Structures are given as structure tokens and as C-alpha cells.
Amino acid sequence: MGTAVFFHAHPDDESIATGGTMVKLASEGHRVIAVFATKGEHGEVEPGFLNPGEELWQRRMKEAAASAKILGAERIEFLGYVDSGMIGTPENEKPDCFWQADVEEAAERLARILREEKADVLTVYDENGNYGHPDHIQVHRVGIRAAELAGTPRVFESTLDQDYMRELIKMGKDLGLDEVPEGDAGEFNMGVPGALITTRVDVKPFLDRKKESMKAHASQISETSFFLKMPDFVFELVWGTECYIRRGAPDGTVEDDLFA
């Protein structure tokens, strides 16, 4: 059995991007670790959701702990940076935000955890952070450098199959589903073209746990959110396979496990 470290920008990212894989690996006896760059201080929250005097980051840390338990993660860590907010916002310019962090210094913080855990696997995001969020892009940069510093042998970039998602959007529009994003299917630009994906993990047997983990992040993912209001068959179509690019994999690699 091995150890896999899942590096994410904010609490709830682990549920959305890699939750099924985390449950799968934990169920197989692997040690699963969740590391967050930030506590998600600048997420959006409905008025009155927090308790009097409670800060959003405090709630999100509790949610991360609850999610980790659901997903089978045996350890969670925060690197200590502040959420950078969305691109172009004033939060991007603050010196303590993750976007402004020195890559070498941040990578060493993560590398210490990788060394402690003797990690076999590290997951980050693709080079555009899946959809251009500054903290997600920084996870890519910092994570790759941390793996170099720690000698972690297998690094995977969590991503979406852009071609498949465009097909799903088109199909959803044809069926008249309310949950389909607005705009033309061809305009969907999250993730990467399917040909770049090396690793597709079937997580359909674990979707109940993935959804439960999403629900644990109630400050960010409400019952009426896009993620949770879709019918079960649509949820399976969207989230039943989690996609990765294994760095350094030979051309034409097709695999279905992070420990293959």
C-alpha cells in the first residue's frame, strides 16, 4: 500500500475535483492525505449562514475536517496562506495571499509534508488551474516544485475532459435540462482536450461518498447548488470519472489508477 497526497487550493476543492479518487484509494488501504494552500477566507457565503462572531475560515476548516472523514483522509494540513480571491480582485495583491507566495518557499512547506509521509503520489491541478483561478494555478506551480524537492515519484494533474464535458452540455441542452450551463457547448473551456488525459479513474461506486463530502461544505455548496441539484443520473455522467494527467507519462498512456 502507498501514500497519496491531494493538494488543493481551498476546502471544497477536494470534494469536487478528487473526492471519488480519495475514497477509492482509502477503501483499497492506501493512506490518503489532504493538504490545503488556504482556508478559503474569501469564499462567498449566504447572509446569516455563519454564527455570530464566526469567521468564514473557521467554518471552512470544520467543513474540511468533516469532508476528510467522509473521504477517508487520515491527515489534513493547511500551508498557512490566505485565499487570493478571484482573478482581478484586490485580494490578489495582498502579500500574504497564496497567489503572491514565493514558489520556492511554499513548495518547501508542502515538500516537508511529502517527506514526512514518504508520499508515493501527489495530485495538483493542470497548468491553468482547471479554470484560471489564481490559487489553482499556484497549486500547479507549487505542487510540481514540491514534488521535485521531495522526490515524489508520481505527480498527477487533476483536470476535466473538455471534449466530454462539451458533449454532455450539448446533450443536456437537447434534453432541456435546467442544470446545463448557459452559452454554447463549444465555449466550455475548463480542463483540457481529452487526448491529453492519461488517467481516468472510475469513481461511480463511490459517488454517494463524494456527494456527502460536497454536502459537508455547506457554506460553499448549498442543497440548491449546481453540484447537488442535478438528478442522480446526471451527477453520475458528470462526476463518475475523475481525470488526471500523469506528468512524465509516455505518449499514449491510458491508465485507470494513480498507483498503476
Q: Does residue 60 fall inside a structural domain?
A: yes
Q: Does residue 215 fall inside a structural domain?
A: yes
pLDDT band at residue 29 using 50, 70 and 90 as cut-offs: very high
172 has pLDDT over 80: no
Q: Does residue 176 fall inside a structural domain?
A: no
Q: Does residue 178 fall inside a structural domain?
A: no
Tens-place pLDDT, residues 224-246: 888 888 889 889 999 999 999 99
30 has pLDDT over 90: yes
170 has pLDDT over 90: no
pTM: 0.95
Q: CATH number, domain at 233?
A: 3.40.50.10320
Q: Does residue 260 fall inside a structural domain?
A: no
- What string of H, E and C letters represents the secondary structure of the chain? CCEEEEEECCCCHHHHHHHHHHHHHHHCCCEEEEEEEECCCCCCCCCCCCCCCCCHHHHHHHHHHHHHHHHCCCEEEEEEEECCCCCCCHHHHCCCEHHHCCHHHHHHHHHHHHHHHCCCEEEEECCCCCCCCHHHHHHHHHHHHHHHHHCCCEEEEEECEHHHHHHHHHHHHHHCCCCCCCCCHHHCCCCECHHHCCEEEECHHHHHHHHHHHHHCCCCCCCCCHHHHCCHHHHHHHHCEEEEEECCCCCCCCECCCCC
Q: Does residue 175 fall inside a structural domain?
A: no
Please report the pLDDT score of residue 243 as a whole number: 98
Tens-place pLDDT, residues 116-167: 999 999 999 999 999 999 999 999 999 999 999 999 999 999 999 999 999 9
Domain total in the chain: 1
178 has pLDDT over 70: no
pLDDT band at residue 80 using 50, 70 and 90 as cut-offs: very high
The domain of 230 spans 3-162+192-246
Q: Does residue 88 fall inside a structural domain?
A: yes
Q: Does residue 235 fall inside a structural domain?
A: yes
Question: Region 62-67: what's the mean pLDDT?
Answer: 98
